[in-house]
Amino acid sequence: MAKKYNVAIVGIRGAVGQEMLKILKQRKFPYDQLKLISTSLEEDATDEAGNRIEKIHKNSFKGIRIGLFSPGASVSKVWAPIAAKDGCVVIDNTSQFRMDPDVPLVVPEVNPQDIRKHKGIIANPNCSTIQMVVALKPLHDFARIKRIVVSTYQSVSGAGSEGIEELVAQTTDPTLPPKKFQHPIAFNLIPHIDVPQDNLYTKEEIKMVNETRKILGDKSIRVTATCVRVPVIRGHSESINIETKKKITRAKAVALLSKAPGVTVIDDIANDRYPLPLDAAGKDDTFVGRIREDESIANGLNLWVVSDNLRKGAALNAVQIAEILIQDKTF
Summarised one tens digit per residue, pLDDT across range 31-44 is 999 999 998 877 78
Query: What percent of the chain has a predicted confidence (pLDDT) above 90?
Result: 92
Concerning whether 88 is annotated as a catalytic residue, the answer is no
Catalytic residue among 127, 140, 183, 192: 127
DSSP per position, 96-158: TTTT-TTS-B--TTT-GGGGGG-SSEEEPPPHHHHHHHHHHHHHHHHH-EEEEEEEEEE-GGG
Are 158 and 309 in contact by the 8 Å Cβ rule? The answer is yes
Summarised one tens digit per residue, pLDDT across range 258-291 is 999 999 999 999 999 999 999 999 999 999 999 9
* pLDDT for res 36: 96
* Amino acid found at 167: L
Summarised one tens digit per residue, pLDDT across range 163-184 is 999 999 999 999 999 999 999 9
Concerning whether 236 is annotated as a catalytic residue, the answer is yes
* pLDDT for res 151: 98
For residue 227, give the 3-state DSSP assignment: strand
Summarised one tens digit per residue, pLDDT across range 213-234 is 999 999 999 999 999 999 999 9
* Amino acid found at 163: G
* pLDDT for res 190: 98
Q: Report H helices in the chain.
A: 15-26, 73-85, 127-143, 161-172, 203-216, 250-258, 277-280, 316-327
Domain ranges of the chain: 5-125+314-327, 128-309
Superfamily of structural domain 5-125+314-327:
NAD(P)-binding Rossmann-like Domain (3.40.50.720)
Summarised one tens digit per residue, pLDDT across range 76-97 is 999 999 999 999 999 999 999 9
**Which residues, other chains included, contact 240 with Cβ-Cβ below 8 Å and sequence gap of 6+?**
132, 135, 136, 148, 149, 150, 302, 303, 304, 305
Phi, psi of 69 (to 5 degrees): -105, 135
Query: How many other C-beta atoms are found inside a 10 Å radius of the C-beta of residue 187?
Result: 10
DSSP symbol at 240: E
Give the span between the Cα atoms of 84 and 74, in whole angstroms. 16
Band (1; pLDDT cuts 50, 70, 90)? low
What is the average per-residue pLDDT within 61-72? 96
* pLDDT for res 32: 95
- Quickly name the fold that domain 128-309 has: Dihydrodipicolinate Reductase; domain 2 (3.30.360)
Are 153 and 237 in contact by the 8 Å Cβ rule? The answer is yes
How far from each other are the two terminal CA atoms of the chain, in whole angstroms? 17
Summarised one tens digit per residue, pLDDT across range 5-63 is 999 999 998 889 999 999 999 999 999 999 999 988 777 888 877 789 999 999 999 99
* pLDDT for res 116: 94
**Beta bridge partners of residue 160, listed in sequence order:** none
Integer angstrom CA distances of residue 262 from 79, 233, 249, 312:
31, 22, 21, 9
Summarised one tens digit per residue, pLDDT across range 106-127 is 999 999 999 999 999 999 999 9
